[in-house]
Amino acid sequence: MALTASTYRISRCSSRSLFRRIALLSPLTLVVFLTGCLSQKMYIDPALPKVEYAELVSTGEKHSVQVFFEFQSKGSLNANATQQLKPRVLADIKKSGLFTSVSEAADPTNAGYKLFITINNVPVDKNAVSKGVGTGLTFGLVGTMVTDGYTCKASYQRPEIAPIEKNYTHAIYTTIGNADGPKGLPPLKPQEAVFQMVDGFTLNILNDLRKDSAL
Amino acid sequence: MKMLKFWFAACVSVCVFFLSGCSATAPNYQTSNDNIQALSAIPGQKVAVGAIEYGPKGHALNSLSIRGGSFNSPINDSWAAYVQGALESELTASGRFDANSTIKVSGTLLENDLDGASFSTGTAHISVRFVVERNGQKVYDQVVTVDNQWDSSMIGAVAIPAARRNYIATISVLIGKLFRDEEFERALR
């Protein structure tokens, strides 16, 4: 078999030098290719009251409503997350049955009934990135748990009546690699956890507006 | 010497892993609740939206990149068109848009910068001259400028999404600044 120039050069390397190179390159290669495989589990903080759809019984006349939803990261508009989570919020509000119709577009039938919901992802762990890198470099042996904080601000506006404002807080815990999650909380997949956080906020807003006899 | 070459190659590999980006298209603009509430507080008629044109710097303003990867507008590959679309979205969501209105907002994109290269702070700088015409008469002509900054990172996987997200947020802040301008408010009344 004919040897190419490069294979010939390699064949001339001492086996010791070659093994040293492989030994040095392997961790780097593994870091690059395997870090995405580290297990990630999320846990929903239990502090926000659990509201069931069955509790959402209207206390007054039903109206149509225009819903405005915005997801922020550290107080700034996060267009991607807003786009992904808006359908979930609209579906939750429709499912509640507290409005005759629910839309995100301006509609004459809304007659001035507007519900603004803003969720803001705020940092709780300031060194979350460095903790995550540490976990990645040890292939998950040194696990990490980080906390994502969320605040939610809602404003329900009706014609000629002062708006009703509501504020809530929530948290999602994420473990990466070999770390224990909060005791007593079931692990969830990332999308499931984020949806539960959004559902929790939305149903609490609706329930509290209902208790205020606004719905 | 061989070890030196090896370490150079390894460092380059690590840098590529941590710093590199790739071409990306921005998400569709999403309206801001604060902007809609600010606009809703302004009494007056509905408004049409004219074109946002490129200023003296021309289509060079269209070229944004983050750590070697281009960042493109989803509307005709034009950031001027994206700003125009954002303005129209905010007006539409607040029930204040009418393509046939005698009041028209148009503009000129003067500055458009995005810098996500720094390991510590990312920055965006956008400047637009907005003009409001009522029955063809100019009633508002102001340059609105926003300088935004955010925490960046050495790690590309953190810094690049942050730069993309915060650039779009900068456009949202720009439009909010226009809606909160008392002269703009007077022009719409």
Write out chain B residues lying below 8 Å of A155, CB-based: 33, 37
Q: Which of B14, B33, B36, B75 to mutate to test the interface with A (most CBs of A within 10 A)?
A: B33
- For residue A130, name the pLDDT band (cuts at 50, 70, 90): low
- Which of B13, B158, B169 has its CB closest to that of A76? B169
Which percentage of chain B shows pLDDT scores above 90? 75
CB contact under 8 A, B172 and A68: no
Write out chain A residues lying below 8 Å of B153, CB-based: 129
Higher-pLDDT residue of B19 and B183 is B183
Cα gap A114→A163, rounded to integer Å? 9
Q: Say whether pLDDT at B170 is over 90.
A: yes
CB pairs under 8 A between A and B: 69
pTM greater than 0.90 (yes/no): no
Task: Check residue B32 and give its pLDDT.
Answer: 96
Are A181 and A145 in contact by the 8 Å Cβ rule? The answer is: yes
Mean pLDDT, chain A, rounded, equals: 82
| Predicted ipTM of the assembly | 0.82
- For residue B1, name the pLDDT band (cuts at 50, 70, 90): low
How crowded is residue B173: how many other Cβ atoms within 10 Å of its Cβ? 21
- Which of B10, B30, B93 has its CB closest to that of A79? B30
Which residue in chain A is spatially nearest to B5 when comparing CA positions? A21
CB contact under 8 A, A105 and B155: no
Mean pLDDT, chain B, rounded, equals: 90
Calculate mean pLDDT across residues A136-161: 83
